[in-house]
Structure formats: structure tokens, C-alpha cells
Amino acid sequence: MTTLVTIAAMAVALAVGLIANRVRSRRTADEQEDAEASVSDLISPLETLAVLLVAFVIVVAAESFGAAGAAVATEARRVDQLYEVADYAPEPHRQRLQAASVCYSRAIQAHEWPAMENGGESSLRASQWSTEFRRSFKELAHQDDATFDVLVQADDERSTARHTRLGEATPAIPTVVYWFMVVSLAATVGAFAFGLPRKRGPAHLLLLSTLAVLFTGSLLLIQDIDRPFDGQIRITGDAMRGTAEDVSEDFAEDHPGAVLPCDEGGTRTT
């Protein structure tokens, strides 16, 4: 819906500007010169405002997109690290931590990732496995195990990355700012159309249309990258999917015959 409204706003601004220009072209030569001078004075600051606003918003959206991608990669690496470091923990904590790592990665992929398209809602199925991590850490702390500090640090980084990922799923550009930008760019396109010279040629209309398309494309690009886990340009769950597959295979090799406490979707079964 937002995409259609954005395109419609730019198209209407272009049409209104061309119609107003056509009406203005019917004036006398003196009136035409005065109008062109006043329009030129108004277009310059409007153009500056539009360009600066678009540049600022693109930077903010790109930073949010980059932070989301980094958080996704970090979370997947830390889950894999948790599994590997747990290999040095004593039993039964070793198997419990490694099983929780497998189930956590599966739950993120199956339940929490689809929710990212709707604003980044956390999944209780994934949270229960992070609780399982902390339960094992408490027992290891009492045993003064050497792996305790490394496991806690990896889990802390995993938790931070998860919260960052969930936070970045929410658009970084406020709705008011986005629509203010749409209005500014639409006004700029309309002003350029209105300020076309009286004796214009096909080149003028071509350049004006190109400008309108570029402005519209910029708005749609900003809208798309401001939703890192939705749209045409999106961050995929390949990193966590790969981690889930790797630790699942490792668990089957490290614990032959052991049954995971979850199903393929990370839902607890035992």
C-alpha cells in the first residue's frame, strides 16, 4: 500500500506541475519572465532540502540494514561457538548444552525468523533454549569449571546479537519522516515541471521524467532496506540455517543414539 501511494504521489505531482506549466505558458512574455525568475528562486532551496533529506534517510536506513546483517551473522557464529566450547564441559552438561544449541538454532529458523517480517517478535520456543543455557551455566559455576567463562561470554554475545536482530526488524525511519520526504520530493518534481521553459523540447520532458523516476526509485529503495527482513532486498536466514545443519550433524556424531529434546522445528518434545 505504501509503495502504491508513493508512486501515485510522485505521478500526481508531475502531472500537476505540467498542467500548471501549461497554464503559465499562456501568459505574456513579460509575465512569463517574471514567473520563471520567481520559480527559479523557489526551486533551488527546495531541491537542496530534498537532496539532503534523501541522503540522510538513506544513510540511516543503510546503517540499520548493516547492523541487522551483522547481528544475524554474529548470532549464528556464537551458537556454533557454544556447541564447540561445550565439548570441553563435563557430562551431563556437555550433552545438555549441545542439545540446547541444536534446538535453539532450529527454533530461531522455524519460528522466530518468519516473525521478523512482522516487526521482530521473539519466539518463546527459542527463548526456552536460551534459558536452558543459563541453567547449565549456573551448575557449571558451582563446579568451578574452566569452560564457564568462555561459555558465558559466547552466550552473552549471542543474546546481544539476538536482541539487536529483533530491534533492527522494526523500521528505523519513522513514518512521519518517510511521508515528509515523499511530500518534499513530490513538491520538488512538481516545481521542476512547473518551471520548464516556455519553448521546451523532448529533452526537457525526458530529463524531467528521469528525475521523477529516480526520486521515486530512491523512496522505494529506502522503504525496502528499512525493512531488513522483508521486501526485495532482505537478509536471509542462511547463516542460522547453516549453523542448525552443522550442529545437528555434529550432535549425531558426538552422541550416537542420543535423542534430541526437540523436533525439527525446535519445539520441545521431552
Residue with grid cell 526456552, as numbered in its chain: 128
Q: What pLDDT is recorded for position 147?
A: 81
34-48, 120-134, 176-190: which is most confident: 176-190
pLDDT level of residue 42 (50, 70, 90 thresholds):
low
Q: What is the distance between the alpha carbons of residues 37 and 22, in angstroms, rounded to a whole number?
A: 17
Residue 84 has pLDDT above 60, yes or no: yes
Distances (CA, A) of 142 to 71, 130, 146, 220: 31, 19, 11, 55
Q: How far is residue 148's CA from residue 31's CA, in Å, rounded to a whole number?
A: 82
- pLDDT (tens digit, 9 = 90+) per residue, 229-259? 887 888 888 999 999 999 999 999 999 988 9
Res. 126 pLDDT band, cuts 50 70 90: confident
Q: What is the distance between the alpha carbons of residues 6 and 49, in angstroms, rounded to a whole number?
A: 18
* Entry pTM: 0.82
Across the range 87-107, mean pLDDT stands at 91
The confidence score (pLDDT) of residue 159 equals 93
**Overall size of the chain counted in residues:** 270
- Residue in 111, 125, 121, 124 with CA at minimum distance from that of residue 166: 121
48 pLDDT tier (thresholds 50, 70, 90): confident
